Amino acid sequence: MNILLLGASGYLGSNIAYCLSNEKYHIVCAVRGTSDISRLKQMKAELISSEPDMLELTLKSRPFDWIINGACTYKKNATFYGDMLESNVMFPLSVLNLAVKYGVKNYMTMGTGLPDQFTPYSFTKHRFSDFGKYLSRTEGINFADLQLEMFYGGIFEPENRFLNSCKHNLRENRDISLTEGYQKRDIIRVEDVVSIILELIRQDYVQGYRLLPVGSGENHSIREIMSFMKCNLQSSGKLMYGNTPGRTEEPDTLADIGWYKEIAYRLKFTYWEGLKAYTTE
């Protein structure tokens, strides 16, 4: 089975590439010239440029069973009409158009469980999902729209990810400045995210457009999460709530994971089991 993976050099993309290559799928990773590909070189994956001409030549020259879009920009300093629009909409849309042109049956995108209008990141992610839904209806492509909750852990996790940064600060008994922390978050281990992706591919589950929420099915406040991690790490660092300004209208998030039953998927890590293991890693 041939799979084209976009955004393979990122945190989630690297985990997807690692899992699928270990499962003996042929993975073709499209990467930018400026990307750090050191992790990908250690895997059994083919690397190509993400330039439009190379992508079209690749899709034209051989059949692909899936295209998986893990490309995104969510940095706070990214410009809405520049980096954000290009990475989250225009680039994956150009590849989706190529998928239609060259008869690729299945396309999967890593979306977000955050509300549509909450941030430029969530807004652009939902706009690409709209294109996927439209092209699924008009062109017959199977489009899996994974609406991801906050994922963490596993291999390749960046040090500046929220939970990872908090974990290291607590280990060093450093104080942490936080928002008030009352917002509730559904969080999920990255190992479960990748395992769900693998099952979707194995079972040929997606027919037409499918919106698929991916999380643990539980949500708890940032205060609860931080207190749990602090206790497990036996840290003397202080959790300084209210020292960091919160975002306006901060939402609670919760994935409806009832559809897991349809692929007979059971989480490897429950909410608190995942966090407990995380503090020992």
Q: 36-52 pLDDT, tens per residue?
A: 778 887 788 899 999 99
Residue 34 confidence class, pLDDT cut points 50, 70, 90: confident
In this predicted structure, the answer to whether residue 221 has a pLDDT above a threshold of 90 is yes
Q: Indicate the helix (H) or strand (E) that contains 135.
A: helix 120-139
The Cα 111–Cα 69 span in angstroms is 9
In this predicted structure, the answer to whether residue 228 has a pLDDT above a threshold of 80 is yes
Q: The tokens 């049956």 sit on which residue?
A: 105
User: How many angstroms from the chain centroid is the CA of residue 149?
Assistant: 8
Q: Which range among 10-14, 37-41, 164-168 has the greatest average pLDDT?
A: 164-168
Cβ neighbours of 81 (radius 10 Å): 8
Cβ neighbours of 225 (radius 10 Å): 21
The domain locations on the chain are 2-148
Q: Per mean pLDDT, which range of 37-41, 170-174, 248-252 is the poorest?
A: 37-41
Q: What is the CATH number of domain 2-148?
A: 3.40.50.720
pLDDT of res. 15? 95
Single pTM value for the model? 0.94
Q: 49-78 pLDDT, tens per residue?
A: 999 999 999 999 999 999 999 998 876 655
